[in-house]
Structure 1
């Protein structure tokens, strides 16, 4: 068993079997509808989340784990003599990172190392998998944190949002933008830049056109891609994800192109049929 345990939160969107097989600790964020709060991926599924949005007509609120949640999650491994590296959701998007830092102060110095991913979804997951492999190779917590920090600016994260509805309901675009966007079939493409969700460009027309543009954007960098792992991450768009996986595998020769499902927190901000391509560039 590695001497360093790798933790992430539920927004890393890694496949459940990977989380189990690699022994990754996951700390869930919270999703709240009215007076009821659910743990992301534990008490509520993405299908259930969308059903509740359709029924209520409003989006849930999302919240970070508390410092106490982190202390509770970290304590068993610390007591077992292991060090911890926790890779968080971007500090630009959530207080998750700050709350983990507060929790780390409850343990002896150096036992818990907190790294800001400056990313979301499998943009975090790519960094987590680098950390997992380093831990398996016997690297120290400090060495793993340095590795993740060096990989962090090389992560490319791009998503096609199928509808402006969730951005509108979440207050991220105006009613007029939503109306015009719906009439013109405009699909925004989001990139993560400096830890923030940034509108990169918009594609007008059929969904296939937007997916083709995103795929082409990735393939332009095929020679610069780290060949170890590419993610196609989606919310209720498995057919499109599998087709993107097939093409990426054929065109890049990557060792692994993995499809993963976006969790409730990511889905509640982006909506159904959101789909992204995420990879690491070579140094």
Structure 2
């Protein structure tokens, strides 16, 4: 076992079996419906979240783990003599990073290294897996952090949102935008740029057209891809994810293409049938 413990939070959307296999610590964010608060991926699943939204008619609120949550998670490993490298959800989207920094300050200097992924979902997960590999190679926390900092700007995160309903319910677009987009069947494509969710373009027409555009965008950059790992991450869009995986396997030559389910926090912001392709470009 490495003397470095890699941590992420529940928004990294790594497959559960990977988390177990690579001994990755996961700190859950919170999902709140009224007076009921759940830990993402622990007390509530994505299908359960959608069922609650349909029943209640409104979206949950999401919240970062508190500094106390981080301290509680980190302390046993510090006491066991292990150092910690934690890679967080983008500081542009949540206070998760800031709370982890506060928690790190409660331990001896250098024992907890906190890295701002400036990303979300498996855009974080890609960085976490690079950190896992570096730890396996015997790298120090400082060397791991340096490697991740060099990778961060190279992570490509692009996903198609099937409907603006969740963005509308969450106050992220106007009712008129939602109505017009529904009538015209406009599907927004979102990219993560400088840690923020940024509308990249819109595709009018069938869902398949938007997925094809996203796929082509990725394939156009296949020569720039670090072919170690590509993620297809989705929220209740397994059939589409399998089809995208199949095509990417045929056309990229990547060592591994993994399908990942989006957790509750990511899904509560984007909605069902959201699907993305995420990878790292070569340095």
For this structure pair, what is the TM-score category when the shorter chain's length is used for normalisation?
Answer: over 0.9
Counterpart in the other structure of 2:29: 29
What do you get for the CA RMSD once the two structures are aligned? 0.3
Counterpart in the other structure of 1:70: 70
- Secondary structure of 1:176 counterpart: helix
Q: TM-score, normalised by structure 1?
A: 1.00
- Secondary structure of 1:6 counterpart: strand
Counterpart-to-counterpart distance in 1, 2:111 and 2:201: 42
Structure 1: 5+ residue runs without aligned partners? none
Counterpart-to-counterpart distance in 2, 1:39 and 1:145: 28
Shift of 1:3: 1.2
Counterpart in the other structure of 1:149: 149
Counterpart-to-counterpart distance in 1, 2:72 and 2:144: 23
Counterpart in the other structure of 1:44: 44
Counterpart in the other structure of 1:58: 58
User: Within 5 A, what are the aligned runs for 1:86-101?
Assistant: 86-101=86-101
Counterpart-to-counterpart distance in 2, 1:125 and 1:13: 7
Counterpart in the other structure of 1:282: 282
Counterpart-to-counterpart distance in 2, 1:223 and 1:69: 42
Tell me whether 1:185 sits opposite 2:185 in the alignment.
Answer: yes
Deviations 1:22-41 (A, max 9, x none): 00000000000000000000
Shift of 1:279: 0.1
Counterpart-to-counterpart distance in 2, 1:19 and 1:181: 38
Counterpart in the other structure of 1:249: 249
- Secondary structure of 1:199 counterpart: strand
Counterpart in the other structure of 1:130: 130
- Secondary structure of 1:37 counterpart: strand
Structure 2: 5+ residue runs without aligned partners? none
Deviations 1:177-218 (A, max 9, x none): 000100111100000000000000000000000000000000
Counterpart in the other structure of 2:272: 272
Counterpart-to-counterpart distance in 1, 2:88 and 2:45: 21
Counterpart in the other structure of 2:258: 258
Equivalent pairs, count: 283
- Secondary structure of 2:241 counterpart: helix
User: Within 5 A, what are the aligned runs for 1:101-120?
Assistant: 101-120=101-120
Counterpart-to-counterpart distance in 2, 1:257 and 1:245: 6
Deviations 1:210-234 (A, max 9, x none): 0000000000100110010000000
Q: TM-score, normalised by structure 2?
A: 1.00
